[in-house]
Amino acid sequence: MQKTKTPRVKWYGTWYEATGITAPQTHDLGAISADYDVAIMGAGLAGLSAALHLAELGAKVIVIESKEIATGASGRNGGFCSAGWAAPESRLINDVGPRHAQVLEALAIEGRDAMRARAFSPAYHAAMAKAGILNLTLSAPEGHELKAKDLSRFIKGPRYLAGHIDPVGFHFHPLNFMRLLAQDCMAAGVTLIEGHEAQCSLSPKAGYVNVTLGPTEHRFRALNIIWATGGYGDTKPPMLSRFLLPIRTFISVTAPMSTLLDEHIPTHLALGDDRRAGNYFRRLPDGRLLWGMGISAVSKPSSETIARTALADIKAHLPDLAQAMQSQEIGFDFAWSGNMAYARHFMPYVGALGPRSFALAGFGGHGMNTGFVAGRVLAQHLCGLQSEIASFDAIKKAPVYGRLGLLAAEGHYRLRRIQDRLAEYRVGGF
């Protein structure tokens, strides 16, 4: 029996960072004015979308990012963009009712279309956008256009029973997209500050929020604050922290292996399956395989552990590819994790948190379309324009109970993995 070598990760960042365009030159503290209409905490997709839409509506906007643009989930995810929310449609209808669910589903489609139009535009060529996502199933073959015999044109994996192609969904380089979006924000007049934490205090009588940037003690005022800090929101207010949990997922990227991909995954579509903690994977422009997997509320594995788990996961789903990788000693050059902000009902919080304080967070693992459109909705609401904010207001705030909630979430995800495996066994016997 051949002994499996422990994968050695070559680079300790993400593939996106290694292949990214130059980050935009953001503003220094000297560019900050005394007063703003809106201050946004967090330069992820939702925050920058809100900033751009607000600026285009004539608002004076500043974005504060404690680290760098898109260092959170927005710049390190799998690079998939499709319609829908993290919550399934059936749960959405049950939670908010059919009328609001219909509005929210339409917004999810709008978000995908807006992202697609931008990603495929000439100005966003560096986003490397490619059309098409193949959605696979391991346990529910009914109702899919592609049966098992058809899938061999796309993937050589015995456990995949059926699938269907989403021709409008797409995959792309999310970090490059975010850097280009940041440039668009600044071109529209947004002040963008990186590398500073912010402390906010409300002045009820004065009607504004005081913002102090540490450690410089630089101060300014804003009429409204948007908290768009996602799964990395260490500075988000306690009122939002009570309703969101940071949930981790894992990505590995192989060394270049175009010939093997031509044989075992002969498609340039992105691929993913229908399990809650399933796989999502795609061929990258330089001939590598990006392999995304798993969900955990408590695990913090090393890059080597993520790579080792990825190899085992590929072997479980694409055994011939895994064997060829091992025989040719093809390993992983990159492996990383990323945090997603999840609510108990898998839907985001978009709207008022308190006086002059607004939430724009909790998009889970489906934020590349929904985060963008939610930014548009909140921007229109803050500018006094008609918007779909009432449908977001219908989403109830559900407490997550801190550490206890993390343990409960971990138990839920492990149970789902068992249920997925049993469902697969009943249908295919694997």
H or E element that contains 380: helix 367-382
Instruction: Write out pLDDT tens, residues 369-394.
Output: 999 999 999 999 999 999 999 999 99
Q: What's the Rg (C-alpha) of the chain?
A: 22
Average pLDDT over residues 98-120: 99
H or E element that contains 262: helix 258-264
Contact yes or no for 137/117 (Cβ under 8 A): no
The Cα–Cα gap between 169 and 128 comes to 14
Average pLDDT over residues 72-100: 96
**Least confident stretch, 72-76, 339-343, 412-416:** 412-416
Report residue 423's pLDDT band, with 50, 70 and 90 as the boundaries: confident
Average pLDDT over residues 259-287: 95
Task: Tell me the residue length of the chain.
Answer: 430
Domain boundaries, the chain: 1-28+131-171+246-341, 32-129+173-244+343-399
pLDDT at 203 over 60: yes
pLDDT at 360 over 50: yes
Contact yes or no for 58/157 (Cβ under 8 A): no
User: Would you list the DSSP string of 202-233?
Assistant: EETTTTEEEEEEETTTEEEEEEEEEE--GGG-
For domain 1-28+131-171+246-341, give the CATH number.
3.30.9.10
Contact yes or no for 350/392 (Cβ under 8 A): yes
**In the numeric block, which tokens belong to residue 245?**
């949990």
For domain 32-129+173-244+343-399, give the CATH number.
3.50.50.60
The Cα–Cα gap between 105 and 102 comes to 5
pLDDT at 427 over 60: yes
Average pLDDT over residues 311-330: 96
Which pLDDT score, from 0 to 100, does residue 106 have? 98
Instruction: Write out pLDDT tens, residues 284-293.
Output: 999 999 999 9
53, 301, 327, 74: which is closest to 190 by C-alpha?
A: 53
Which pLDDT score, from 0 to 100, does residue 428 have? 65
Which ranges constitute the DSSP H helices of 120-169?
A: 148-151
Instruction: Write out pLDDT tens, residues 151-170.
Output: 999 999 999 999 999 999 99
pLDDT at 217 over 70: yes
Burial code (b: 16+ CB inside 10 Å, e: under 16) for 3-35 equals eeeebebeeeebbbbebbeebbebeeeeebeee
Contacts of 88 (CB under 8 A, 6+ apart): none
The pTM is what? 0.95
Tell me the torsion sign for CA atoms 74, 80, 85, 88.
negative
Helix (H, G, I), strand (E, B) or coil at 371: helix
Helix axes 303-317, 319-327, angle to 10 degrees: 130
- Backbone dihedral region for residue 134 (phi beyond 0: left; psi -120 to 50: alpha; all else: beta): beta
Instruction: Write out pLDDT tens, residues 118-147.
Output: 999 999 999 999 999 999 999 888 888 999
Which pLDDT score, from 0 to 100, does residue 1 have? 43
Which pLDDT score, from 0 to 100, does residue 275 have? 84
pLDDT at 29 over 70: yes
Contact yes or no for 16/68 (Cβ under 8 A): no
pLDDT at 42 over 60: yes
Tell whether omega for the bond before 215 is within 30 degrees of 0, i.e. cis: yes
Contact yes or no for 306/250 (Cβ under 8 A): yes
pLDDT at 67 over 60: yes
Report residue 426's pLDDT band, with 50, 70 and 90 as the boundaries: confident
The Cα–Cα gap between 116 and 167 comes to 12
Report residue 6's pLDDT band, with 50, 70 and 90 as the boundaries: low
Distance of CA 374 to the CA centre of its chain: 14
Report residue 363's pLDDT band, with 50, 70 and 90 as the boundaries: very high
